[in-house]
Amino acid sequence: MINATLLRRALAEAVGAFGLVFAGTGAIMIDAESGGMIGHLGIGLTFGLIIMVMIYATGHISGAHFNPAVTIAFAAARHFPLSNVPVYILAQLAGAVAASALLRAMFGGIADLGATFRPVATASRSSSKPSSPSFDVRDHRRRDRRPGGRSGGGYRDWRNGRPGGDLRRPDLRRFDEPGPLACAGARLRHLGEPVAPYRRTGARSTGRRVRLRRHSSRTAGGNSVTEDKKIRVLFLCTHNSARSQMAEALLRHHGGGDVEVHSAGSEPGQVHPLAVRAMAESGVNISGAESKHLDQFIGQNFDYVITVCDRANETCPVFPGDPKRIHWSFDDPSAAAGLEEERFQAFRDVRNLLNMRLQNWLLAVNR
């Protein structure tokens, strides 16, 4: 029987798969119809952008698989409940088929809906017998065998018979549909793998961590002195038991000694054991962490105050020094229902999304 949580995740997978197929395939079809106006780069950007949008829109709900191969791979690696695989795959197929059906109704069969392999009728010069259809991924343009058909470079668009010697293939190779997206240059490690410290691209060869420092000036003896200070970051959620604790640990892991990071809650409880387990799976130990009350940090100066739940965002107090306020909305993994492994998956998902969001943020801070 499908519970409400699993049904919600399946719906998110269906929406994600629909958006991916509709935007990506639609770009291929429009490119074919317009004679290559979008181009390979445009199609690639379309796929990348729609994946990013769908991950941000539904990733916190379902993990943003969008592809049966990703779901099966996670299940094979024991990072996803095997019992949920059929539900996810059916939802993904339903979303993809619905998108393809809508595209066909809107545009017809242009570019075979972006198919990579398509049947191409071939004629044999040495035999009078008609050749059987074959699949050819090297060239999807067919020579015109009719008299006069070799004009314009010897090819005709087999889809509509237009002559032309500089024709583009109306279809492109199929783009794979990845799982959760890691930002460019980030060292995001997916389920179960150690989380590597974030480093700038230029620091890869030296192994230095990213520098999260801010510069402040003061006057000493009539001279202006510039000080290099750590950036102070505060993560807030309601109970300071899972989301903010994982965010604090991940940022401290990535930033090392260049960042001073804290977390707190408006109604602190106990650090959730599944949050401890999820972080330990990634090589970060928070077994000694304690939930802290927000009042402990009232009146302190921070450079960034980041809320990771909607309730904390609504009740966030004002801090001195005009810190930059950021809100990242994540579902509370503690509220997940089901068996322990299904609940643990919710903590894994939030951990991975936090890691991805933090590394994107680090890239932006250091520009």
DSSP state letter for 175: P
Q: Are strands 155-156 and 304-307 parallel, antiparallel or unpaired?
A: unpaired
Tokens linked to 147: 């008299």
What is the spatial distance between Cα 40 and Cα 31, in angstroms, rounded to a whole number?
Answer: 9
Catalytic residue among 73, 115, 120, 316: 316
Of 174, 172, 173, 177, the C-alpha closest to 54 is: 177
Of 352, 275, 273, 266, the C-alpha closest to 315 is: 266
Query: Which phi and psi angles does 278 have, rounded to 5°?
Result: -65, -40
What is the spatial distance between Cα 90 and Cα 230, in angstroms, rounded to a whole number?
Answer: 49
Q: 226 has which bridge partners?
A: 217
Active site residue 183: no
Of 339, 361, 222, 358, the C-alpha closest to 274 is: 339
Contact criterion met (CB below 8 Å) for 81 and 342: yes
Contact criterion met (CB below 8 Å) for 345 and 296: no
Active site residue 237: yes
Residues present in the chain in total? 367
Ramachandran region, residue 161 (left: φ > 0; alpha: ψ -120 to 50; beta: rest): left
Catalytic residue among 27, 231, 233, 237: 237
* Chain position carrying tokens 């691209």: 201
What is the spatial distance between Cα 349 and Cα 113, in angstroms, rounded to a whole number?
Answer: 32
Of 90, 91, 83, the C-alpha closest to 61 is: 91
Environment class of residue 2 by beta-carbon count within 10 Å: exposed (0-12), middle (13-18) or buried (19+)?
A: exposed
Active site residues: 237, 309, 316
